[in-house]
Structure 1
Amino acid sequence: MNTRSRVLILAASGLVAATAITGYVVNAHDAAEGTGTGAGTTGSIDLRTSETAGTPGTPGTATTILFRDTAPGPEFGHVASVPAAHPGAAPTVSSTLCDRFYAAHDTAVCLQRGGALPATYATVLDHSLHQVRQVKTAGFPNRARVSASGTMVSWTTFVQGDSYLSDDFSTRTSILDTKTGRLVDTIESIPLTLDGKPYHAADVNYWGVTFAADDNTFYATVRTGGRTYLVQGDYRAWTARTLRENVECPSLSPDGTRLVFKKRVDASANRPWRLYVLDLRTMVETPLAEEHSIDDQAAWLDDHTVMYGRPRQTGGDWDVWAVPADGGGEPRVLIPDASSPTPLGG
Structure 2
Amino acid sequence: MATDFTTEIARLRSTLANIEAVTRPDELKADIADLQTQAADPNLWDDPDHAQALTQKLSHLQARVDAVESMGNRIDDLETLLELAGEEGAEDATEMVAEAEMELGEIDAALQTLEVRTLLSGEYDERNAVLTVRAGAGGVDAADFAEMLLRMYTRWAERHGHAVKHLNTSYAEEAGIKSATIEITAPYAFGTLSVEAGTHRLVRISPFDNQGRRQTSFAAVEVIPLIEQTDHIDVPESDLKIDVFRSSGPGGQSVNTTDSAVRITHLPTGIVVSMQNEKSQIQNRAAAIRVLQSRLLQRQRDEEAAKKKQLAGDVKASWGDQMRSYVLHPYQMVKDLRTSHEAGNPDAVFDGDIDAFLDAGIRWRTNSQQRDEDD
TM-score, length of structure 1 as denominator length: 0.29
- Structure number having the greater strand percentage: 1
Greater radius of gyration (CA): 2
TM-score, length of structure 2 as denominator length: 0.27
